[in-house]
Every structure is written in structure tokens, then in C-alpha cells.
Amino acid sequence: MNHVVPAPAQSTVGRKLRTSLNIYDTELIDFLFIMSKKLENVISIRDFDRDGLLSILEMARAAEGTNNSDLLKGHVLGIMFIEPSTRTRLSFGAAMVRLGGEVLDFGDPSRSSLQKGESLADTIKTFSSYCDVMTIRHPLEGVARLAAQIAGIPVINAGDGANQHPTQTFLDLYTIQKTCGGLDNLKVGFIGDLRYSRTVHSLAEALSWFDDELYFISPEVLKAPGYLLEELEEKEVAYDQFNSPEDVLSELDVLYCTRIQEERFADRLEYEQVKSCYRIRKSLLEECGVKQSLKIMHPLPRVDELADDIDNTPYAVYFQQARNGIPIRQALLSMLLQKNI
């Protein structure tokens, strides 16, 4: 568990970090640096408590707008994605480059020796010996945890199957905090593929540390997994489940939309039955009388579940959400690598 610790006296590395990021709150920086000593990997949002989550967001705030720093000069980020990605892969790269570091991209797995039958473990072991920190995305749940055990460098989970996507959760929390003014006392609705969406699983777990009400909206076959609902019950989180967005839209402060994840369905017929189960569009928001302050989020990519007639309304924050991937990943890379300086 990543906890908050008391702010120490100003450290040399803290000074270096402060100068590089051009911020002058010494207590904050030293405090964040000490936090970084405890951050060895980023595998699951379950490894963070409320203070641990908030400290990452603080660090992201400090990193915001840091486009030309040499903080991570001489360090290499390895990117090993065995599943497609646009935002996560590119924003990790941009975050590293903007902090003066370099990026080594594993590239298309079909061009690697995985094709010759090399094991994933040997591949990770080899790849990790060429970099200082690595981020991995893989369709199998648990692969990031395995990578952390064999890599010998800090590992960041960029999505493991339907399980977790913790860096997405940090940027989701950051977006909610910035656009709603905080993370408590919110009614947050999740709609769509709640069964397979790792972003939903990670975010719901993270929000369980805050004083929010959660609403899960999906067809029966795409309901949130039982283990997640049990966790929420154990933590006495207020939640409810609905089939139709019309039943709850007017209540919400945040609506978190998700794509129906075609690639995770074992049964093609089942996918065909639910693939167009809902579509959030401007007229629906008007008909339901949503709050003026409603924020609509989506981890993206979207297919047809979120109409583009919402893009230019004040509700839409999903492209801002994608941009927030940069300061969040800058924060995480800095915290993980400061440990090694």
C-alpha cells in the first residue's frame, strides 16, 4: 500500500526535482520525493490508498506544463505493448521525452522473437535489461504483476486484460478533480461494458476511497463483476445498478462511458446482441434534464456509444481527459525513477 509519510527536511534530490520542475514549495517536493521512495511499481490501483492516490495527483499538478525539462535525462523508458493503443502508448512516450528521457518501443510483437517461440518471461527479462523503467500492456490478466517480479526495474501496468489500467485511473481521477473541484460528494455513473472494462474496475476501486455514490448502468450480460461489487459493499460504498441511462442520468455529476470491448468476448453472438445497447447523444441529455455541470468522460477510443454531437458541449471532457495522461505519466515516471537516482 502506498501511504503518505510526514514531510522531511529538504533533500538534495528534492532540490533537484524542484529546480527541474521549476516549483518552489520545498515541503511539497520533499514530501513527494519521500513518497516516491515507496513507489516501486504501478501494477494495480488496489496498491494505493486515498493518500497515496492524492499524492500522485499532487505530483501531476506539479508536473503540469513541464515540456522542457532534463529531469529524466539519461533514462530510458521501455514500452512493450502486446495490444493496440494510441493514448497510453503515445502519452507515456511524450511524458518521458518532455522530461528529457528517451523511449525504447518494443514495436509490433509480430516482428519480435516471440514469433520464434521465445517465452514472454524471457522477452520481458531481455527487454527490461535495455531500459530503466518499463510499461507493459498485455491481453492476459496478471502479466504486469509477473513482469514486475522478473524485470528488475520499475514496471508500470498499461492495461492487463479486463483487470486493471491504473495509470488511466490516475488521469481519470485527475480529470474529475480538476473539472468537478474535488473527488468527494459526487454521483458518478458508469455506463457500457462494465464487465470487461478495466478502466471501470480500476476507477470504481479508486473512488471507493472517496465519499461518492456510484451508479452502474449496463445490460444484464455486461454488469460489473461480482468481486468488484463485493469490494464496494465491504467498504460500505453506496452504489446502485440500472439497465437504462434514462433512469439515472439527471442525478449524475459524472458520466463515465465505455466502449463495448469486442476483443474480450468469447462468444461472438453475445457481443452482437449487446454491441449497440446504448448511445449517449445530445438529445438524450436534453430529454433527461441532466445537470448543467455534468461531466461526460470516456477513456477512448469510442466507437458509436458516444455521439460526436456532444464534443462541443460543456459536458464533454474526454479529450481533456486524454491530455491529462501526460502530467500523470510524467509524475509516475519521475517518482519511479527518482528512486534510482
Catalytic sites, residue numbers? 87-88, 116, 137, 165
CA distances from 49 to 54, 135, 328 (A): 9, 22, 17
Per DSSP, the residues of 69-124 read --TTTT-EEEEEESS--SHHHHHHHHHHHHTT-EEEE---GGGSGGGGT--HHHHH
Cis peptide preceding 154, ω within 30 of 0? no
* Complex with ligand CP: residue 17 or 326, whichever CB lies closer: 326
| CB closer to ligand CP out of 30 and 193 | 193
CB of 199 to ligand CP, least distance (A): 7
DSSP character at residue 157:
E
**31 near 8, Cβ under 8 Å?**
yes
CB of 41 to ligand CP, least distance (A): 19
Q: How many helices (H) and strands (E) does the chain have?
A: 13, 9
Give 27 or 141: the residue with its C-beta nearer to ligand CP.
Answer: 141
Residue with cell 481519470: 172
Name the residue nearer to ligand CP (CB basis): 46 or 87.
87
Compute the least distance from the CB of residue 98 to ligand CP, in Å.
18
Residue numbers at the binding site for ligand CP (CB under 6 A): 85-89, 159, 168, 299-301
Please state the closest distance from residue 5 (CB atom) to ligand CP, in A.
Answer: 31
Residue 280: exposure state from Cβ atoms within 10 A (0-12, 13-18, ≥19): buried
